[in-house]
Structure 1
């Protein structure tokens, strides 16, 4: 089955919406089914761009090396080109991964909170903090949908409902308001995760970028020292995994900031 796909509609003005699927491994054979549903949804204003990736070696999007791989650099270029206000990253998971993705202590093991099930096995959460901090403004809406691999008709119907909300909304507030009418408990949980991000990871990353401009960083040891100082002095609630992700996000920022085309590329 051919999984590579690229399609867009709408003009340059208004809300920029970007959906990408199959960005690592063999997930594209499942996410293409969601993309095919998405292309038939009408968008009242703005832009609607859809991409589905061909198979590629699997690297976690929580690994900075992913964004230096062929697939990861292609994803970054698509984000830079579209500068989306609303960004949806589609993934698929096997049944034995459900608990790992949703468990409450996922942040301790992987540095990110557990995904939240909306319905029919469709899970929702934020994209990797490695790109959330670098390529998106704070109030943009970059998020992940994890669907069961070989999704059922019910799961695809749930995805269609979510994407119809995206297509008819122009910002984060509208999307969450509409989703909250259907999934109130889940949206409250996601909002709690977002507040934790805005109070800890995001301001820490901003401060690190600021101080890096004022510091002669000659080695990784210098960067580690800066990270430790920022987290300790500002008393951010970040575990060792998250501190390591701050380092990864900064390195990705340094790798791609020369393009100066993304909304948060400048300090």
Structure 2
């Protein structure tokens, strides 16, 4: 069964508030990230929080790979976004220090380069393979909805503490916009850089798609 690869915790507050989704989609990264899931669950102040843990120990497929949506975890990831329509989504990953140059490189191919918020904590947005099918369903993950990808350096207490602050804010803010304002206040230069990289990547992708269509005519 498809849902056997994903464990869900669905937590409600007595107060109205945003719908929040926090995911760990790579089973091997769960031990590094469990403290952040616990932080979010303990901090929830309003609304609804769904925590999704992937239990599939199969072959690792990056969320930015076109093959991701063909995996069981990828199909469930998309299904959760389609059905829950969260106001705030945080996709959590852990990485080894040697992977940082590839994740932040301006020449990263399949997704916008990540931006370092603090030492060992990298920020991105919605993976491109997820964005396209959601748009076809009429679901936007742009403001006022917020989709964050956080990469936490494995074994770094400093990175884990910084990520925990973001998780607390994601669990207590009243909206996605409030979360973005908080991030801009704390990391103004980094957020501006992330916005530029996101815009540049999708403008380049749109030009490439137009060129491909014209070539086929």
Pairing partner for 1:189 from 184, 187, 193? 193
Q: Give 1:232 deviation, angstroms.
A: 10
**Cα distance in 2 for residues equivalent to 1:77 and 1:85:** 15
Q: Are 1:143 and 2:148 matched, yes or no?
A: yes
Structure 2 contact 124–194 (Cα < 8 Å) conserved: yes
Structure 1 contact 18–84 (Cα < 8 Å) conserved: yes
Distance change (3 Å), C-alpha of 1:37 and 1:169: closer
Which residue is 1:264 aligned to? none
Which residue is 2:87 aligned to? 85
Distance change (3 Å), C-alpha of 1:231 and 1:93: farther
Q: Larger RCO: Structure 1 or Structure 2 (Cα < 8 Å, ≥ 6 residues apart)?
A: 2
**Cα distance in 2 for residues equivalent to 1:232 and 1:169:** 47
Q: Give 1:154 deviation, angstroms.
A: 2.2
Which residue is 1:71 aligned to? 73
Structure 1 segments, 4+ long, off by >6 Å, are: 224-227, 230-233
* Structure 1 residue ranges without an equivalent (≥5): 206-223, 234-267
Which residue is 1:247 aligned to? none
Pairing partner for 1:229 from 210, 213, 217? 213
Matches within 5 A, 1:144-223: 144-149=149-154, 151-196=155-200, 199=203, 201=205, 204=206
**Cα distance in 2 for residues equivalent to 1:231 and 1:39:** 50
* Structure 2 residue ranges without an equivalent (≥5): 1-5
Which residue is 1:113 aligned to? 112
Larger Rg: 1
Structure 2 contact 36–167 (Cα < 8 Å) conserved: no
Which residue is 2:21 aligned to? 18
Alpha-carbon RMSD: 3.0
* Pairs aligned (count): 204
